Structure 1
Amino acid sequence: MELILHRFELPLQHTFTISRGSVDVQETMIVELRHGGLAGFGEATTNSYYNATLEQMVADLRRIEPLVADSTPEDPGQFWQQAREELADNPFAHCALDMAMHDLWGKVRGEPVYQLWGLSTDSVPASNYTIGIDSIDVMVEKMQQQAGWPIYKIKLGTPHDLEIIAALREHTDAVFRVDANCAWSVEETIENSGAMRELGVEFIEQPLPAEQRDEMPHVKQHSLLPLVADESCIVEADVDRCAEGFDVVNIKLVKCAGLTPARRMIQRAQELGLKVMVGCMTESTVGISAIAQLLPMLDYVDMDGAALLAEDIADGVKVKQGICHYPDVPGCGVSLLKDGKIPVTE
């Protein structure tokens, strides 16, 4: 196979703010694998919280070009394991490579990845649309501009979180999910759970900082809403660690290193009686199309990344008002609309 790397800047429709920062443009790397006239694509965005830089992803992937050159798209799981030795410290790069391999694998076989896994998309969960932190008036306006979504995920972590939810509730009957991104205390979480349940909130995502995982069983015991692990659930071993303190695990493909380990995490969570969600970063249709292959295995999904963009770079799976629309294309269904090729010298 041939390895080609692309860099893009993804402009957002609105400034996207969570409890620890804001972004207007998201840098992303696209991995392209070519074989026999076909191309598979994968994606990893940069992320300062997880120390994921474009420079390091590119450097690490360049280092495994000999492995790529000697490989064929026959077994994505085996290829993931072979790349593991070199990419163990860079799950974002490993994820993009794994996505591209699955997309190419499906295209070579002429079937969507989810069908090759024996799955059906007849009954799949709807996605939420995420409203970033802003003034209450602006948050209301953002939601109204995206009217018709069945679920909205509201980013919180402000001194007036309950006021935000109450104000948004005046304008829609849709389901709400809230995500504090580690910004609340134990007491805040327990107190907010009751008030937010009355306001039609479905669950609370990552209320406490990840390092306070030992406090989560107490929170779970007293919370009136289900609790979702995000920053507390990064790699496969974290699923077991989350079983006592959370009701749901939110798996991010870039954090766990791709579709291959994500499937194992889903299976383990289900064995433990946890519900499963897969979430996105602010990704293009490349990353969203990979998530879509897992959709039949999930209880919840947050795959609105491409819907948050002012301009996309790829075609593939589309999410419109929460509903996932699959293209009649094998693999993950991805085609790149632009060329952002990074010269080999970089």
Structure 2
Amino acid sequence: MKVILRTFNLQLKHTFTISRESYDVQPSLIVELQSEGYSGFGEATSNPYYKITVDSMKHNLEKIIPFIESVTNETPEEFWLKAHKLLENDMFALCALDIAYNDLYACKKGKKLYELWGYSINKNPKTDYTIGIDSIEKMVSKMKELPWPIYKIKLGTKEDIAIVTELRKHTDAIFRIDANCGWTVSETINNAIELKKLGVEFLEQPLKADNWEGHKELFKHSVLPIIADESCIIEEDVAKCHNHFHGVNIKLVKCGGLTSARMMISQAKKLGMKTMVGCMTESTVGISAIAHLLPELDFVDMDGALLLAEDIATGITIKNGVIKYSELNGTGVTLISK
């Protein structure tokens, strides 16, 4: 099996701002695995919050190329377990590798990934579209630029309620709020009361990731459901989030790819928690991988490629929140730039 690593700087349409950072370009690593005339593609993006760079991911993957090249007919689950032992300190690199291997494996089987997994796509949830923090006028403008049935609104400012109040004047869409660890317990409880009146569906990660006592209090007293993000990184975190959050937002790049995400989703369901998968401003390579998990999800945030000025791949397409799969097998991805 041949390994090809490519790096890209994904230019965004607009400056993207959350409570702790802003950026205009998203560095990304694409892994291609070639075998028997087939190619599988995977992706992971850099992230300063988790101290992950494209160079660090590439370096860690280059160190294990002999292992990757030696792989023959392992299932994705068997491959992930072996790769995890070698990349346990870099889940982002493992994610790109795991997605590529799942894609390649399904292509060899002549099936789309969701078909290989036995999933029915009849009741797939719609994806939201994210509005990053900006002036109220610009946030309204961004929303009007792309009318959508569900918006995810980034908050964590001194004007949070005013922002949502103004946005509500311009749409009947469902609102979801992501404060990215930017609130306190009292702020969250008070904000939830007002935000519920404004048609907000749930709050995502209002407190800092390690504030377990605070989230336990919110779990008991918030009038809106609370979804974990920064507090739920890997499989072991799902059980920790039980009775602290109403659901978990799983990110493929943080947990190590599709294989581990499926394990986390299964565990969350067993605990009676809502399931969500989010993105990290990936191109259509990473977003297409997420699409195959849709039948197992209550919510999804897979708008990363929609935020880009120019994509680097074709695969799934999204119109008005509805995901349409590629005709190709695997994840359905083809690179535009090589």
TM-score between both structures, scaled by the size of structure 1 = 0.97
Give the stretch that moved more between structures: 266-275 or 63-72.
63-72
Tell me the distance in 2 between the aligned counterparts of 1:319 and 1:206: 26
1:327 maps to what in 2? 326
CA-atom RMSD in angstroms: 0.7
Determine whether 1:150 maps to 2:181: no
Tell me the distance in 2 between the aligned counterparts of 1:68 and 1:184: 43
Determine whether 1:71 maps to 2:71: yes
Give the stretch that moved more between structures: 179-188 or 209-218.
209-218
| Structure 1 position 72, deviation (Å) | 2.6
2:140 maps to what in 1? 140
Tell me the distance in 2 between the aligned counterparts of 1:59 and 1:86: 13
| Structure 1 position 68, deviation (Å) | 1.1
SS at match of 1:3: strand
* Cα deviation 1:12-42 (Å, max 9, x = unaligned): 0100000001010100000000001111000
Tell me the distance in 2 between the aligned counterparts of 1:62 and 1:214: 41
| Structure 1 position 123, deviation (Å) | 1.0
| Structure 1 position 214, deviation (Å) | 2.1
SS at match of 2:48: coil
Where do 1:113-262 residues align within 5 Å? 113-147=113-147, 149-262=148-261
Q: For residue 170 of structure 2, what is the amino acid of its counterpart? A: H
Q: Which runs of 5+ in 1 are unaligned?
A: 340-346
1:51 maps to what in 2? 51
Tell me the distance in 1 between the aligned counterparts of 2:93 and 2:318: 25
SS at match of 2:144: helix
Tell me the distance in 2 between the aligned counterparts of 1:185 and 1:97: 37
Where do 1:279-290 residues align within 5 Å? 279-290=278-289
Runs ≥4 residues deviating over 6 A: none
* Cα deviation 1:78-110 (Å, max 9, x = unaligned): 011111121000000000000000111111111
* Cα deviation 1:264-310 (Å, max 9, x = unaligned): 10010011110100000101000001001100000000000000001
The answer (yes or no) to whether the contact 1:73–1:101 under 8 Å persists in 2 is no
Q: Which runs of 5+ in 2 are unaligned?
A: none
Tell me the distance in 2 between the aligned counterparts of 1:101 and 1:319: 24
The answer (yes or no) to whether the contact 1:185–1:208 under 8 Å persists in 2 is yes
Tell me the distance in 2 between the aligned counterparts of 1:72 and 1:213: 43
* Cα deviation 1:233-259 (Å, max 9, x = unaligned): 001010000011110100000000011
User: Number of matched residues?
Assistant: 338
1:108 maps to what in 2? 108
Tell me the distance in 2 between the aligned counterparts of 1:244 and 1:122: 31
Determine whether 1:270 maps to 2:300: no
Tell me the distance in 2 between the aligned counterparts of 1:219 and 1:109: 46
Where do 1:2-13 residues align within 5 Å? 2-13=2-13
SS at match of 1:94: helix
1:99 maps to what in 2? 99
Q: For residue 89 of structure 1, what is the amino acid of its counterpart? A: N
| Structure 1 position 51, deviation (Å) | 1.0
SS at match of 1:49: helix
2:38 maps to what in 1? 38
2:17 maps to what in 1? 17
SS at match of 1:216: helix
Q: For residue 85 of structure 2, what is the amino acid of its counterpart? A: E
| Structure 1 position 73, deviation (Å) | 5.1
